[in-house]
Every structure is written in structure tokens, then in C-alpha cells.
């Protein structure tokens, strides 16, 4: 049943929540403005506050912890926080892939708008997400994103500027950074296959430096901790190739099948090419880590054709992916994997 909040009730909720907007009329009809490429950490934080105020009872805001330089890393929970099954969506662990944050935020708003009115295969979003909720981390690597978007101005410390300078001196472009502010490629920093891979760097670098030891970064430590909450499936957003990677060399046969089913389900929406990683080496990625640690499926989407992904690709990417979370919720609800 669709429920409406009275204006006084909404104002009380806004007063109770930590939001600086005084009345419902201050919340834009369209919160996430998908009209510019540089979608910043600050904009994301503001939009999450607005969405939480606009959709109480649908959205709950939590935190994964803080980044290496102290930025809060929010988690947006959509649906029933006590749902028996949960999906973890994590995005933008690679700095330059921040288009993923905008896509994920827009999908969150799309589902909130659809919550009481739209259905997936005949089941209302509100019923599905009462049983299968989503924990969404739209920006795992905010320190790196600040550098990818603002260059040296986005570097928090002199130490960060020093290693950035050495990278730029050797020809790297600031906008191409994948790492966090310590120069660690966070998707090479997890414990399963740590230090493996052909293109490994030995020192802080724009990409492929796995760190001094596994999960020695605030972001990876926090994400590993958060991933232990009993998730049923994992979906990871990256931005180049229009590919869906699934599986890992360390998967059980059963989980290899589950990961394949998840990848095929997502590909049914966006038509990206699915690529099995089951025969390749593991190299410290989050996908490897969760599949080995929890024996649950994981799929990694590469949403654009180039990175940083231009705004001209946004609409097509969003339209190709907006219904896929509902599809995942439906498949889990129906026991399909």
C-alpha cells in the first residue's frame, strides 16, 4: 500500500535527521543532478542527506568507516534493514572511475521513486526490498576521487603531493589515478592473491601498487569488515570495457555457478560481454576476496568505454543498468541462485 507522509510529519523527520534542509519544499524533485561529469564527494554526501530526508522508511544511511585521510564513507541501505537477504554494491574503489558513483546514486534515486509504484515481474519493489535489501557504497575511494577530479588541489597532505609529483614527472596524468591518496591500488590490496599480477608496482603509484601488506589501507580494512555482515551477493562497479567479470580461480564449483548466474542476469539488462575469471590468477581484488572468504557470488561490471567516462555516455549507461538491481532482488527472492 502506498503511504503518504503528512507535511508536519515530514518536517519532524527532517528536524530529527541530521539535515540542514528545513522543509520538504527545499528538497529538489530530482535530487541527483546527472548533468555534469565531475560528480564530487561533497555532492554525493549532500545528495545522500537529501535522499534520506525525502525517502524515510526506504533509505537508511550507515557508514563503512573513514578513508585514509578521514573522509566518512557512507553506505546507503535501500529497503528493510532487517531483510533476510542482503546485497552489497560497492563502487569507485578506483579513483578515476567516479562516473560509477553518479550511476549508482542515480539508480538509488530511481529505485526510491519506483518503490511504492513500480513492479519487477509482477512484484512491487517495496515487497521485494522488504525481503532483499541493498547496501550500497557509492564511493569507496573518496581521497583518490578528489585527486582524479581536482589534481594537486585534491591532495590532502605534502606526502601525497610528493608521490603524485614523481608520477606526473614520469608522464602520468593526474586524471588517470586509480589509487587512493597513499598511492595504493585498493583493488590489489585484499588478502586473496595479494602481490600477484603481471603489472605490479613496487612503490606508491597511480595504479597497481598493492600496498605494504594486505588490507593495510583504511578503505580496504573498512570494506573487508563491512563485507562480513552476511551478504548474499556482491556487485562491484568499475568503468572501462562494458564487460562483466565473474568468478575467480579460488571459487568452489557451486559458487562459480552462482557467480555465473549473477553475471548472466546483469548482462540480460545491459548486454555487456561476460568474462569468466575462473581460470586466471587471483590478484588481491575485492571480488576475489569475497568469493573465497564467504563462498558467495560476485560480479564486477565495467560500465563505460573509456575512463574517466565522459558525460555523453551517462544516459545510455544508466538506462542499461537501472532495472538490474530490481532483477537481482527478484532472482534472489525467487531462489534463482
* Contact set with Zn ion (CB under 5 A): 94, 238
- CB closer to Zn ion, 94 vs 135: 94
- Closer residue to Zn ion, CB minimum distance, 130 or 175: 175
CA-CA distance, 245 to 241, in Å (whole number)? 10
User: Closest distance between Zn ion and the C-beta of residue 300, in Å?
Assistant: 8
Positive/negative CA dihedral, 310, 314, 320, 326: positive
User: 188 or 238: whose CB is closer to Zn ion?
Assistant: 238
Query: In the beta sheet, which residues pair with residue 88?
Result: 135, 234
Measured CA angle at 2 (ends 74, 336), to 5 deg: 65
CB 177 to Zn ion: min, Å: 11
To the nearest whole angstrom, how small is the minimum distance from the Cβ of residue 97 to Zn ion? 5
Sign of CA dihedral 186, 190, 192, 193: positive
Least distance from Zn ion to the Cβ atom of residue 20, Å:
34
Q: How far is the CB of 94 from Zn ion (least distance, A)?
A: 4
| In the complex, minimum distance from the CB of residue 313 to Zn ion, in angstroms, rounded to a whole number | 16
Question: Do 59 and 113 contact (CB within 8 A), yes or no?
Answer: no
- Distances from the Cα of 159 to the Cα of 162, 181, 208, 216, angstroms: 5, 9, 19, 17
Angle formed by the axes of helices 286-294 and 218-226, nearest 10°: 30
Shortest distance, position 207 Cβ to Zn ion, whole Å = 9
Smaller CB distance to Zn ion: residue 14 or 266? 266
Cβ nearer to Zn ion, comparing 93 with 108: 93
* Nearer to Zn ion among residue 40 and residue 187 (C-beta): 187
User: CA 86 to CA 288: how far, in whole Å?
Assistant: 19
For Zn ion, the closer CB: 56 or 241: 241
Q: Smallest gap, in angstroms, from Cβ of residue 258 to Zn ion?
A: 22
Q: Is there a cis peptide before residue 89, judged by omega within 30 degrees of 0?
A: no
Q: 196, exposed or middle or buried, with CB in 10 Å at 0-12, 13-18, 19+? A: middle
CB 103 within 8 A of CB 196: no
Roughly what angle, to the nearest 10 degrees, separates helices 142-150 and 41-54? 120
Nearer to Zn ion, 50 or 73 (CB): 73
- Please check whether residue 38 is in contact with residue 149, taking contact to mean a CB–CB distance below 8 angstroms: yes
Element (H, E) at 198: none
Indicate the SS3 state at residue 166: helix
Amino acid at each position: 500500500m502506498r503511504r503518504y507522509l503528512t507535511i508536519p510529519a515530514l518536517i519532524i523527520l527532517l528536524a530529527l535527521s541530521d539535515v540542514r534542509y528545513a522543509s520538504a519544499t527545499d528538497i529538489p524533485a530530482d535530487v541527483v543532478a546527472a548533468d555534469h561529469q565531475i560528480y564530487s564527494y561533497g555532492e554525493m554526501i549532500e545528495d545522500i542527506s537529501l535522499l534520506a530526508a525525502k525517502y524515510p522508511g526506504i533509505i537508511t544511511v550507515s557508514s563503512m568507516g573513514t578513508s585514509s585521510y578521514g573522509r566518512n564513507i557512507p553506505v546507503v541501505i535501500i529497503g528493510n534493514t532487517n531483510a533476510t537477504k542482503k546485497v552489497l554494491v560497492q563502487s569507485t574503489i578506483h579513483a578515476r572511475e567516479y562516473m560509477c558513483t553518479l550511476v549508482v546514486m542515480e539508480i538509488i534515486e530511481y529505485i526510491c521513486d519506483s518503490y511504492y509504484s513500480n513492479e519487477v515481474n509482477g512484484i512491487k519493489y517495496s515487497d521485494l526490498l522488504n525481503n532483499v535489501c541493498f547496501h550500497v557504497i557509492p564511493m569507496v575511494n573518496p581521497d583518490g576521487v578528489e585527486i582524479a577530479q581536482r589534481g594537486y588541489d585534491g591532495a590532502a597532505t605534502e606526502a601525497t603531493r610528493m608521490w603524485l609529483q614523481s608520477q606526473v614527472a614520469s608522464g602520468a596524468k593526474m586524471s588517470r589515478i586509480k589509487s587512493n591518496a597513499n598511492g595504493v591500488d585498493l583493488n590489489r590490496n585484499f588478502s586473496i592473491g595479494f602481490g600477484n599480477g603481471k603489472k605490479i608496482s613496487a612503490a606508491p603509484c597511480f595504479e597497481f601498487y598493492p600496498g605494504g601488506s594486505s588490507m593495510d589501507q583504511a578503505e580496504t580494512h573498512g570494506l573487508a569488515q563491512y563485507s562480513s555482515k552476511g551478504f548474499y551477493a556482491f556487485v562491484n562497479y568499475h568503468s572501462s570495457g562494458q564487460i562483466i567479470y565473474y568468478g575467480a580461480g579460488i571459487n568452489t564449483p557451486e559458487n562459480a555457478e552462482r557467480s555465473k548466474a549473477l553475471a548472466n542476469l546483469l548482462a540480460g539488462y545491459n548486454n555487456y560481454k561476460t568474462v569468466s575469471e575462473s581460470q586466471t590468477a587471483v590478484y588481491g581484488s575485492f571480488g576475489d576476496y569475497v568469493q573465497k572468504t564467504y563462498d558467495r557470488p560476485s560480479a564486477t561490471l565495467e560500465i563505460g568505454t573509456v575512463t574517466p567516462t565522459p558525460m555523453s555516455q551517462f544516459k545510455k549507461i544508466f538506462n542499461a543498468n537501472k532495472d538490474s538491481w530490481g532483477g537481482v532482488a527478484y532472482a534472489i527472492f525467487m531462489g534463482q541462485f
